[in-house]
A and B are shown apart, each in its own frame.
Chain A
Amino acid sequence: MAKVEEKRGTLGKGELKDVLREMLLIRRFEEKVEERFRAGELPGFLHVAIGQEACAVGVCRALEDGDVISSTHRAHAHTLAKGTHPNELMAELYGKTEGCSHGYGGSMHLYDVQHGNMGANAVIGGGLPHVTGAALAFQMRGEPRVAVAFFGDGATNIGTFHEALNLAQLWTVPAVFVLEDNKWAESTPEKQHSPIRDLSERAKAFGMKAVKADGQDVEAVFKTTRQALEHARSGKGPVFVHLDTVRFSGHYIGDPQVYRRKDEAKELRATRDPIEILRGRIGVTDDELGELDTEVIEIVDASVDFAKNGTDPAPEDALKNIYA
């Protein structure tokens, strides 16, 4: 993996516009998902990551080929950022066989092995030990690969978090644990679910290296993740990456957010929108942004067409894929 050395620790200027475009694509994708859900077209239980795009894109851009991720119930952004085509993701949300999990998974169980996605998980913290295990496999086989877990602040209270981080540090496996700290566990604010304010302390309690970044600043996320990956890949052990982020949306689509101050999301959108932060920094004009927007909206609209024209599984396909 010579690419490890080639890849720089920071994003180049040319790359940043592409990063902006990718975040915009995820934003428009998520908005389309909300719209289609409200129109009654999407079955199930959906969670969008509007506001958290920089975490997904910054982390996944930093990965090398061969690195793997494990995601959460809020998985669309991670999945797109890890390389799954929007068509395949949208088709999955429509329950079509062309979907990335072939209609067996849905929004909370997105898999794409070819692109290094070990799966989203609808059990909070459920994927954390898998990341320790995948990293153990890489270590035992001497492969220069890293396994990366995404999880939220709510997950830092569940047993698998503590058990998986403890074991990962004990065995110094090449894993990176990315906390997307949006300060909400569903409807429960962090001050009600955690007795400590700095959740990095939990990783430090295991002796794990912990680093922080502003999760709304995609460049900072990228840079911090690069450092974490380098540490893990070089055999020094796992790293805890604490990203301070915000959830503009509710916990799920349709969440009336009775637990949240009415103007909060609006204020956050005005001050902490990762797309606006990057666009301001790299000086993308309204016109240029409009062009990017047109481009990504076309991709998103095409993904809906693709999904709607997809193939429904036969009911009896439900009895396939249970055993190898």
Chain B
Amino acid sequence: MPELTYREAVRDALATAMRDDDDVFIMGEDIAEMGGSMGVTQGMLAEFGPERVRNTPISEMALAGTAIGAAMQGMRPVAEIMYEDFMTLAAEQVVNQAAKVRYMSGGQITVPVVFRTQGGAGWSPGAQHAQQLEAWFVHIPGLKVVFASTPEDVRGLLWSSIYDDNPVVFFEHRTLYPIKGNVPPKNAAGQIEPIPIGVARVHREGEDVTVIATGRLVHESLKAAEEAEQRGVSVEVVDPRTLQPLDEETLVNSVKKTNRAVIAHEAVTRMGFGAEVTSVLQYQAFDWLDAPIERVGAKFAPLPFAPVMEQFVVPHAEDVLQAILRTVGKNGN
């Protein structure tokens, strides 16, 4: 099994699709010569040329909207929105246009576009370069929303997203780009094994508590699960991977087994993605629950600059561990 970083895995999905299919191309700010602000598209200009690796002006509305227009005419563009924070600038096109064109046209038009974006704290950029805004987009009918946490998942899910006939908002986490992981070999035609959209992944099986985590918090939760194990608590860690559609069955079945749930994400807890998951679990697994569902996320504050404040605002493995221990009635300390 080849080993790739998360960054290489994203690039491999893009490049493999572009070798496979002339309709696939990428566009975004600084993605050509510079190779993207996160280095994801490095080397792609040399392989594919400026026609298919398109640097755009700093114009998120046009970047998103042009990708939508090309998709409406049968191309499969992947638009890179440099930071999730800038999705707010593209939001009109993503929310009012991409998500609704198929619907408003009564099914005449498909919009097979992917909006790749990334965010995440841990490097003190302050309040406008590291937000986690996935909850904004899971609220919009017509969009699919993916948030992958490992090299294997990010590659297989990006491949599926490119070939999905719906608009997909594809979240990556900044701090995950350097992590390494094995990915399955490609098939004889050089294609990537797709990971279906809408299927969760159980990272670790356990008996006492289910932790449902996304993005960086998957890794924090796995650390917390190791620590909990030392204290005699067996933890199952599940990553939904796609937030819309949501694999409710896997999440609910896990909680029916463990009878306790913790939901962990880096985004602000209040009104976050975890609130919806909590609702799904309490409704479908009410009689199985032995403890209130715990949520772990950022405190209700913009991301601050000073590193000590930033570390305080966003959740870490220790926060997940404490939540796990609360669900089993153990005092964390």
Contacts and interface: CB of A to CB of B under 8 A. Distances in A.
B284 interface: no
Given A129-B93, A140-B75, A324-B166, A103 B106 contact: yes
Contacts of B102: 321-324
B265 to A, nearest CB: 24
A266 B81 CA distance: 50
A136 B66 contact: yes
A280 B112 CA distance: 49
Contacts of A137: 69-70, 73-75
Contacts of A109: 104-105
Contact of A164 (B65, B165, B166): B65
Interface in A97-129: 99, 101-105, 109, 111-113, 118-119, 121, 123, 126, 128-129
- Residues of B in contact with A, size category: 35 or more
Interface stretch (B56-64, B291-299, B303-311): B56-64
A305 to B, nearest CB: 22
Contacts of B142: 322-323
A163 B59 contact: yes
A104 B166 contact: no
Interface string A64-106: 0000100000000000000000000000000000010111110
Interface string B148-176: 00000000000000001110000000000
Interface in B164-193: 164-166
A166 B57 contact: yes
B110 A129 contact: no
A123 B101 CA distance: 12
Given A130-B69, A133-B67, A133-B69, A105 B104 contact: yes
A313 B16 CA distance: 43
A265 B328 CA distance: 75
Contacts of A129: 61-62, 64-66, 68-69, 93
A139 B109 CA distance: 20
Contacts of B74: 137
Nearest to A131: B69
A167 interface: yes
A160 B65 contact: yes
A68 to B, nearest CB: 8
A167 B73 contact: no
Contacts of B104: 101, 104-105, 109, 111, 119
A323 B166 contact: yes
A62 interface: no
A137 B164 CA distance: 18
Nearest to B109: A113
A104 B25 CA distance: 31
A130 B109 CA distance: 13
Query: Which of B66, B108, B165 has the largest count of A CB atoms less than 10 A from its CB?
Result: B66
A167 B62 contact: yes
Contacts of B97: 121, 123, 126, 130
B329 interface: no
Contacts of A135: 69
Interface of B (DSSP majority class): mixed
Query: Which of A121, A130, A131, A160 has the largest count of B CB atoms less than 10 A from its CB?
Result: A130
A134 interface: yes
Contact of A140 (B25, B61, B96): B25
B78 interface: no
Interface string B100-130: 0111111111101000000000000000000
Contacts of B108: 101, 111-113
Given A119-B104, A323-B166, A166 B96 contact: no
Contacts of B93: 126, 129, 160
Nearest to B99: A322
Nearest to A104: B106
Contact of A133 (B71, B105, B141): B71
Nearest to A318: B103
A320 B107 contact: yes
Nearest to B52: A140
Contacts of B72: 118, 130, 133-134
A133 B142 CA distance: 20
Query: Which of A131, A137, A164 has the largest count of B CB atoms less than 10 A from its CB?
Result: A137
Given A160-B62, A166-B62, A321 B70 contact: no
A136 B70 contact: yes
B51 to A, nearest CB: 6
A21 B195 CA distance: 56
B92 interface: yes
B66 A102 contact: no
A166 B57 CA distance: 9
A159 interface: yes
A123 B96 contact: yes
A132 interface: yes
27 contacts: A104-B106, A111-B106, A111-B109, A112-B108, A119-B109, A126-B97, A129-B68, A129-B69, A129-B93, A130-B65, A130-B68, A130-B69, A130-B72, A133-B71, A133-B72, A133-B73, A133-B77, A136-B66, A137-B69, A164-B65, A166-B57, A166-B59, A170-B57, A321-B102, A321-B107, A323-B102, A324-B102
Interface of B: 25, 51-52, 54, 56-57, 59, 61-75, 77, 92-93, 96-97, 101-110, 112, 141-142, 144, 164-166
Interface of A: 68, 99, 101-105, 109, 111-113, 118-119, 121, 123, 126, 128-138, 140, 147, 159-160, 163-164, 166-167, 170-171, 320-324
5 A-B pairs closest in CB distance = A133-B69, A129-B65, A102-B106, A163-B62, A130-B69
